[in-house]
A and B are shown apart, each in its own frame.
Chain A
Amino acid sequence: MTKGYLCLVLHGHLPFVRHPEHENFLEEDWLYEAITETYVPLLSVFEGLVNDGIDFRITMTLSPTLISMLADPLLEERYLKHINRLIELSQKEMERTKWHHDFRSLAQMYFDRFSHARDIFLKYNCNLVYAFKKFQDLGKLEIITCGATHGFFPLMDVCRESVRAQVKVAADHYESVLGRRPKGIWLPECGFCPGHDEILKEAGISYFFTDSHGILHGTPRPKYGVFAPVYCKGTGVAAFGRDLESSKQVWSSIEGYPGDYNYREFYRDVGFDLEFDYIKPYIHPDGVRINTGIKYYRITGSNNHKEPYVPEWARERAAEHAGNFMFNRQKQADYLNNLMGKPPIIVSPYDAELFGHWWYEGPIWLDFLFRKVACDQQSIRMITPSEYLEQNPRNQVITPSFSSWGYKGYAEMWLQGTNDWIYRHLHVASARMTELVKSFPHSGGLQLRALNQALRELLLAQSSDWGFILGTGTHTSYAVRRTKDHLLRFNRLYEDIKSNHIDEPWLSDIEYKDNLFPNINYQHHQ
């Protein structure tokens, strides 16, 4: 008998990082690493489950910027180069480590995994979006959308036209790629501000997520806490609250599963460990050491001494941890069911990129979890939000509270001494965009191109990723540069459009560089 539901949500997002103007661009590695370590392993897990006839449900954001990069021919070509180089390095490593049994077999493991990543990548014609779509079409995966460029909505509340543009551009883009309108959205950084549900409703989106306190501090008091969705007052858009307890088990690097001593150590990478001349071809051309993804050690203990990674031990731990996670959810569901008098829904959202990238064993853990939940028990069942809503259409109406899943739960991560300077510029740009839309309700030709590009640049400047990196206070130069570059491009377009003096060659150049959302409609910004 089903005592409760488990709704796993993976939030897949990377900011738009694509630099055709440079042969080698370090930040593009964010994408390549995520493909090799997260997206391909997740797809392999899904593939395996389907092949073995295991029923499963998972909800996953593919942010519009991530989709745009996964579907971009230049980045696809560069990924192939990247993975080929890694395969070459792992081959060299197999040779170099032949006198060290553990390292030798690990080098082989990396060779196999990198080769597998390349095979999967090629199997889907270099576009993994289609791979994810396949599992959505099979009814196992529910892909949700996100803000077009992951702008942090609460700090756009003074210019809701921009929130509207973020949502509508995203929904259109989703439809153009995945063939139907998105049912749900992951609000960037889980940032919700009362009233934004109206915009979601306009875009035809029926649910979103908040952090726990978004629901718990809503008004009136939510009868079932975060363990049942609520409908937003006035719009009927559903909000699901995050369960912090299950989050912590995975997130916390100390008490959480990823800190287990048998798991792979993230910080010991051959890119830093090996002798310079040998590793030079595989690090940054300037000689800056970077992570390659080949890591030979397990966490081992709390000090610097590290022992070689033993994949079989890690696998066993992942199985144990999956069992522990399931057991705790069963207990939780049981307890809540008694308390609530109906089956709770436990919503466990995570950053997708932590599975595989930060927590190397994350994808196997998921695999074990899916299999155990399907085969070993009956008290919890996996579900997607839209399935839950279909089966449980009657829910309480409240106004959820302003909230985010960022540090301290509100806007501070994106609004502090190191990044608060960006908002005066972003807000002016938003107001200018609104002005352009009002001034040019009908447009065509070159002007239309410029208006659409202006919206692209504004959206790109709004990515919360820049604010986040600025907020951490280190390696901020790229984030500063991206914020300024897009704003500068926007401002120039604004002036050019107003003075009817559009510089076509320059416009072509930035269209080529910032080429996402080919069918963008500037009129969404109103």
Chain B
Amino acid sequence: MKRIFKKSKEALSKVISKVNSKLKLKKKLKPAKAVTADAQKDAFGFQETAIANTKFSHAQNVSPDRSMPQELLSSYDVDKIVLQVRDPHWLHAYWEVRNQTTERLRVNLGDRFHGARRVLRVYDVTSIIFNGSNANRFFDIVINDFASSWYINTDGPGRSWCVDLGLMLTDGSFITIIRSNVVQTPLDGPSWITDEEWMIPDDLFARLYGMGFGLGKSSPVGGAWQERIKQGLFSSGISSSPVKKEIKERNFWLKVDCELIVYGATEPDASVTVQGVPVKLRQDGTFTLRYYLPDGKQVIPVKATSADKLENRTVTPIVIRETK
């Protein structure tokens, strides 16, 4: 049993920032201090993303001649809040409230409208048919008047959620403006429910479970299970990797190369060879050749023969490249 990830986080983040800068990703990684499994799984996930992104190569600074003819509407004139699941812990809600709805509330509430704060009320509606007042529990998030979406940390994997956008009045009463759909967050570890017909002892399942999971913060494996894996309860992969590398920092860089252009002219109907290889002349009898010039000496005989084969001329440039 060998841990696949061995590199320090620091080294990793350097390599990733290399990948990063190559892909022109702007996301900055925080400087790292310690070796953590978290970083390793993060790094793996990030690499997958970065590599997948190579599929979409882009040129930089393409001229912006593809301007949009028009923009999308900023609102659709509805009262609506939509809830989506981002991961086991987080939800995302976006909403739209028509001005007339806000106005009606202002009129109906009279003085009580003043000082009212906009609030997201997040209900845990697991295993119930929610009727507005039977939630298992709820919590409130005070939001500003301009927000039209919010990321909500429920810290409640494997549960069902519903959100009201509403007003919290100064007397503490809550008035719902709009109610969302119901969503369910996934578990962040294995289910505790087992199937009699397909029973498996805990330790056996744990071994199956641990195989192949690189574990970390961004891993879909929840904290409790990660702890058990760290305690060595689970195997975390049996493969050995044949690739071993030292990872060094990429510094400032400079690339220099040389090319040699050999050009000339003769009678348009003459034949020319360069280093013995026939060259195609342009209509006016000129020619241009371009070579990568490695270090060392190049002897380049250029030979022209007249159309009637009676005359020859040879010129031989000798070029030495030496790189220090």
Q: Which residues in A have some Cβ–Cβ distance to B below 8 Å?
A: 14, 26-27, 29-30, 33-34, 95-100, 103, 154-155, 157-158, 194, 211-213, 216-227, 243-249, 251-257, 259-261, 266-267, 273, 275, 278, 284, 286, 288-291, 301-304, 320-321, 324, 328, 331-332, 335-336, 339-340, 351, 353-354, 357-358, 396-398, 401-403, 405-413, 415, 420, 423-425, 427-428, 465, 468-469, 472-475, 477-478, 481, 484-485, 487-488, 491
Contact = CB atoms under 8 A, between A and B. Distances in A.
A270 B229 CA distance: 47
A267 B61 contact: no
Contact of A475 (B24, B71, B82): B24
B87 A339 contact: no
Contacts of B51: 251, 253, 351, 354, 358
Nearest to A335: B238
A275 B255 CA distance: 12
A304 B50 CA distance: 19
A255 B45 contact: no
Given A217-B187, A252-B44, A473-B25, A403 B220 contact: yes
Interface of B: 4-7, 12, 15, 19, 22-27, 43-64, 66, 68-73, 76, 82, 84-88, 90, 92, 94, 96, 149, 181, 183-195, 197-200, 204-205, 207-209, 211-214, 218-221, 237-243, 245-251, 253, 255, 257, 259, 289-294, 298
A158 B84 contact: yes
A296 to B, nearest CB: 10
Nearest to A217: B187
A407 B205 CA distance: 25
A339 B63 contact: no
- The secondary structure that dominates the B interface is loop
Contacts of B218: 407-409
Contact of B55 (A158, A249, A328, A353): A353
A225 B209 contact: yes
B191 A217 contact: yes
Contact of B59 (A284, A406, A410): A284
A353 B185 CA distance: 32
Contacts of A402: 85, 184-186
Given A33-B57, A220-B195, A226-B208, 18 more contacts: A96-B290, A158-B84, A212-B220, A213-B220, A217-B189, A217-B191, A221-B205, A249-B239, A254-B7, A254-B43, A278-B290, A290-B57, A290-B59, A301-B246, A410-B85, A410-B220, A424-B76, A481-B66
B82 A424 contact: yes
A253 B87 contact: no
A194 B186 CA distance: 10
A248 B205 contact: no
Contacts of B214: 244, 248
Contacts of B12: 254
B187 A396 contact: no
Contact of A245 (B47, B73, B186, B239): B239
A226 B220 CA distance: 15
B292 A100 contact: yes
Contacts of A409: 45, 87, 218-220
Contacts of B52: 351, 354, 468
Contacts of B72: 425, 484, 487-488, 491
Given A286-B62, A408-B87, A221 B44 contact: no
B94 A424 contact: yes
A24 to B, nearest CB: 11
A423 B94 contact: yes
B37 to A, nearest CB: 13
B190 A99 contact: no
Given A103-B292, A425-B72, A227 B57 contact: no
